[in-house]
Amino acid sequence: MRSSPNRLIGVIFGAVYIVVGALGFAVTGGVSFLATQGGMLLGIFMVNPLHNVAHLLIGAALLVAGLVSTRAAKGTNTVVGAAYLLLGIVGFFLVGTAANILALNTFDHFLHLASALLLLAVGIGVERTAPRGAMA
């Protein structure tokens, strides 16, 4: 696992997102599952219970893929990175609307964009296999 950047990033990000998802429940007591305004995690990130569940599921996917294989980690990092890129961009337009079912705020958008860039950079940019017949 240490020799694969995709596996390492998958395990690290997975563990962090699981911890963040679990900690989120400590600040969302009394917050509706789909509330557009949520509790404040670390004083800057807004979360609601759905947002916490999303963090737990995404963290689990990244962690499991990172533990399973390089191919699984690469694919999961790329897919999650693309989803976070989309969420980071679309999120700016959701704030203040009824469609903001994840209770996103500006800090969330920038964190999602940063996560997306790193996951996509690793998922797309490293561990490319040489074409068959090519000399290393």
**Separation CA 83–CA 81 (nearest Å):** 5
Q: Return d(Cα 77, Cα 80) in angstroms, integer.
A: 5
Q: What is the pTM of this model?
A: 0.88
pLDDT in tens, 54-105: 999 999 999 999 999 999 999 999 999 999 999 999 999 999 999 999 999 9
Residue 22 is inside which H or E element, if any?
Answer: helix 5-24
Q: What is the DSSP letter of 44?
A: T
DSSP assigned state of 39? E
pLDDT in tens, 121-135: 999 987 755 455 555
